[in-house]
Amino acid sequence: TALAPFAELPCWIQATVHRKAVLDGVRPKPGGMAAEDLYFQMQVYTRGRAAFIEDPLVEVRRHGANSYSSSDQVREGVLAVVQQVEREVSLTPAQRFLLRRRIGAEFCRRGYRYFWVHDARRATRYYVQALRWPGTRYSALKHLAALPLLPLLPRREPVY
């Protein structure tokens, strides 16, 4: 299924090609939500097979006029959309399981980012959320147990 193979879901609408039959009934969510292209693409991915070219063929340009001003905003948008898809889009049991793993991984990724910049409060918040989702519980517990060691660990640049 297309929900599984990538750390980041390929969702740039301007760089995708779809069969018309796959797009029948798929509409962007109105209201200008963050990461609406991801919401749209995830609906498409749940409708059947998808093929991908693994070679990077698109370069995403980031600049001050982008709709997101920080990578934190991007991650929050992705997290909100993936949770919304889990609630609103009709999924097979296998797709739902994979999506729930992706949600857990996103919470863990956020916790990991804050863990290494020594923001224990935010790291704890995200790791506790990760405990609710399959596939990330061990990693979340391991990092929660390591939080008291933060003063002894070196700080790292934000990691995603």
Structure tokens at 102: 């992706």
Dihedral sign, CA of 68, 74, 79, 82? positive
Sorting pLDDT into bands at 50, 70 and 90, what band is 55?
Answer: confident
Mean pLDDT of all residues in 76-83: 83
Whether 33 shows a pLDDT value over 80: the answer reads no
pLDDT band at residue 1 under the 50/70/90 scheme:
very low
N-to-C CA span, the chain: 24
Q: Is the entire prediction scored with pTM above 0.75?
A: no
The runs of H, that is alpha helices, within 31-153 are 36-45, 71-88, 93-116, 120-130, 137-146
pLDDT tier for residue 79 given thresholds of 50, 70 and 90:
confident
